[in-house]
Chains A and B, each alone.
Chain A
């Protein structure tokens, strides 16, 4: 599968910060991609370069096999910024029509697409309302529709679920899956790791303007696994200790163990089987993305990312 987007050694320096410092990664077509990172890691700057709002200081972007040109590719990108913005006094229908036309759709095309999406998400009665009449969740939904209605090849969503109730969040989630199936590539920027685990195929973690992690969710988890296993036994044997593992946690009839180097899971099982203990469950504990995130980011300067002159 070809790549929708390739970033090559992107750099963007501001006066007091290296906001993006030599980041490269590729995005496969049709994938759902998670862009993770603590506050101020450079995610927004990176996204603004991908959407053509900022020009990179160095490096280049390949969009759909060709060099990225912000003016011509604008129609192929849908961007929902973290800070939502709509004209408060403008009628919702007119507003959607206007923003779609700015993307480059003709009036008739825009009208047709808006009608389709409004019907799909049951928003038809909103047409003559104004944004100031909508609740936060409703305007979120509207913002999503405006972002995707021209069915762009690349959709960038910054915290798309904030402020949505579970029902509407699921609705939007289903739409995101649907768009990916129809061939759109989705970049998903968030701090909510459980959503990333659920939705994303591929993640990149940036911190302090640098990429520190890149891979599929499974790969990353494998990379950071600590060989932890959980064993559920019918009854506790007399002798737990074994050279093959270390006990991390012990409950009534369950153990959390970490297998030592040079041993495998079979060694653990054998140890218990030899003692005639019935093993009821044995499964690997993979670290959650949340734990990986915290362990990678903690201890860096990310929490207080201080301003420092760029040398």
Chain B
């Protein structure tokens, strides 16, 4: 036992002390952070203010236009002519002007408004201007023709909401479904990535030991199984530490971002207040301790299950890393298959395919995350969750036992290319 820890310690330290570890663990979130900050910066500060002078001779807008968007400023001007306004545009005092002639017919549809600008206007800005002006005219028309008061009109425009709820008395709105979908998909996808990244890391480590011929020196002091388990535990710890650092960094940086640029953050929230606030309130309803706990459980369970298989493959490969490719295929297929089931399960967590996928140990680490995100008991029953966890534990004990036997023979076997058939022979040999 002590020797397994010793081996795990070396595996852990030799990876953590590498420069590439620091680079990917700390550099990557920083890069994402900078990217994120830049997106916010440009989306808020993106366009310069666009000034439009409105010479409203027909009093079409009553001197009032929706100026919610900060980018576009409407200025009402009086006693200006087309010529004087054109001069102002050329002097760059204003960017564009709209001249509403006195005879503008609100009720007709023949008259049109013309936005005159000095240079070509971007499509987004064009749409915003069009939208504002059209809305104002529409409202004017409705008020003029129907005889409604402004208040009545406003009340008609407000629609009654249609919301979803589940029999468990909980909120089941689109926001929540959306949040569950996102959380389930992201965590399932993360586990998918983890299985591949750390699985191949284990495989490479085993191959390195075999081709370096150090395996023979080591297995004369420890059992091959101890060597394999030490490696798996060591690399698993690297993965766990890496993820914890990422989580801490992401949370920390987002807080830092809010403090660094409070005005920007508030502007962003002001812009899409309803959507973000809704999302945030729903994210608060997601059962984070459950998700995080399950994530770590399935991360470790899935990792142990697959990494021992990857170790077994690594032990059978000789000098040529190409040999590994064909042997990996049977291992990576269930992982990819699990990913496919997962994309179905996030939409419909209780379909029979999702239930099967979340119980079968080779696919459960990925699929169960999609169901867990929908919560208990909406997405998955307690019984299924416990059963799935028990099966996963049994599964990884099984694969480690199997892989251990293949590994023991493979690590000292040189010169012969192993096939799955010979590997099975090693695995099920007596002794």
Contact = CB atoms under 8 A, between A and B. Distances in A.
Given A53-B219, A99-B218, A85 B212 contact: yes
B325 to A, nearest CB: 24
Contacts of B208: 87
A157 interface: no
Given A48-B412, A88-B212, A98-B6, A74 B220 contact: yes
A51 B217 CA distance: 10
A85 B217 contact: yes
Contact of B10 (A70, A75, A98): A98
Contact of A71 (B212, B223, B431): B223
Interface string B1-20: 00100110010001000000
Given A55-B431, A98-B10, A102-B3, A85 B216 contact: yes
B212 A102 contact: no
Contacts of B10: 98
Given A88-B212, A102-B3, A102-B7, A53 B218 contact: no
Contact of A81 (B14, B217, B431): B217
A99 B209 CA distance: 13
Contacts of A161: none
Interface string A58-80: 00000000000011001101011
B329 to A, nearest CB: 26
Interface string A81-97: 10111111110000000
- Interface of B, secondary structure class, is helix
Contacts of A86: 212, 214, 217
Nearest to B422: A15
A90 B220 contact: no
Contacts of A210: none
B369 interface: no
A77 B216 contact: no
A163 interface: no
Contact of B213 (A52, A55, A85, A104): A85
Interface string B41-73: 000000000000000000000000000000000
Interface residues of A, number: 28
Q: How large is the interface on B (under 10, 10 to 19, 20 to 34, 35 or more residues)?
A: 20 to 34
A193 to B, nearest CB: 25
B220 A77 contact: yes
A189 to B, nearest CB: 14
A98 B215 CA distance: 14
B222 interface: yes
B322 interface: no
B220 A51 contact: yes
Interface string B334-354: 000000000000000000000
B212 A103 contact: no
A17 interface: no
A285 B268 CA distance: 101
Contacts of B431: 55
B6 A79 contact: no
A74 B217 contact: no
A74 B209 CA distance: 20
Given A90-B14, A103-B221, A81 B213 contact: yes
A277 to B, nearest CB: 61
B6 A102 contact: yes
A90 B10 CA distance: 10
A104 B14 contact: no
Interface string B193-221: 00000000000000011001111111111
Nearest to A47: B220
A101 interface: yes
Interface of A: 48, 51-53, 55, 70-71, 74-75, 77, 79-81, 83-90, 98-99, 101-104, 146
Cβ-closest 10 pairs across A and B: A85-B213, A85-B214, A83-B213, A79-B220, A51-B220, A81-B216, A102-B221, A74-B221, A103-B221, A85-B212
Interface of B: 3, 6-7, 10, 14, 208-209, 212-223, 412, 431
20 contacts: A53-B216, A53-B219, A53-B220, A74-B221, A74-B222, A75-B221, A77-B220, A80-B217, A85-B213, A85-B214, A85-B215, A85-B216, A87-B14, A90-B14, A98-B10, A99-B218, A101-B6, A102-B6, A102-B7, A103-B221
Given A53-B412, A98-B10, A99-B218, 4 more contacts: A53-B220, A71-B223, A74-B222, A87-B212
